[in-house]
Amino acid sequence: MWEGNRLAEKALPPHIRRPRLMADYSWGQEPVFQALLFSRVDTPPVSATPDLQMPLTIGSRWWRDLRTMLHRLRQVPAPQGRRSHTPGFIERIPHHLPEVAQAGVDLTVRSWVISHADLHWANVTRDPLALLDWEGWGAAPAGYDAAVLHAYSLAVPETAAKVREVFADVLDNQDGRLAHLVICAEIVQAAERDPLHARLAPYARRFASEVLTPQ
């Protein structure tokens, strides 16, 4: 998290639209503080909160741009040692979603791809699209970015369905189902700490059950 924005500025190509890091400064000892100065982004985020709370009106070009941007991100060389989740968290998914253990789901992450890793609705802007908040970017389970966006849409079924339609190629397979379970477990885990995730947790639990239901 501490190095994410600096590494993004060095590693990401300009055509992945985002605020550009203009200056940074660190000071202090135990605790240490960091100040970051970014270029201004004039387009507002899609939502003031990470979770979507009302139907979304965004054109097809926006969705195409998002797909293109995430595809370009996946082509970036992997930064050493940056992963969205530890193996320990993946192993603990059944602690948060007991039905995962009951279903005997294989929790092996078969494919790690370079991802934004925090792709919720307060981190994407309206037209023109830009991606905000690059602290946590790095390798994540394949399909994780789309799964995060979908999970934070669950209270608005029509938008959740649109996310699944647009990203069907990365969500409607074994890797995508695991990515769905990862973010659902994260939401349930965080529900005890903040009202936003407490609000989302019932949706996440219900959707995780759908993921585990044989088709």
The domain that contains 106 carries what CATH number?
3.90.1200.10
Instruction: Supply the pLDDT for residue 87.
Output: 87
Instruction: Supply the pLDDT for residue 80.
Output: 87
Instruction: Supply the pLDDT for residue 120.
Output: 98
Instruction: Supply the pLDDT for residue 16.
Output: 96
Which structural domain, as residue segments, surrounds residue 150? 41-212
Instruction: Supply the pLDDT for residue 215.
Output: 64
Instruction: Supply the pLDDT for residue 82.
Output: 93
Instruction: Supply the pLDDT for residue 107.
Output: 95
Residue written as token pair 């979304």 = 56
Give domain status of residue 171, yes or no.
yes
Give domain status of residue 103, yes or no.
yes
Give domain status of residue 75, yes or no.
yes
How many domains are there within the chain?
1
Q: How many CA atoms lie within 13 A of 8 on its CB side?
A: 29
pLDDT tens-digit profile of 162-203? 999 999 999 999 999 999 999 999 999 999 999 999 999 999
Give domain status of residue 73, yes or no.
yes
Residue ranges for the chain with pLDDT beneath 70: 215
Give domain status of residue 153, yes or no.
yes
Give domain status of residue 87, yes or no.
yes
Give domain status of residue 8, yes or no.
no
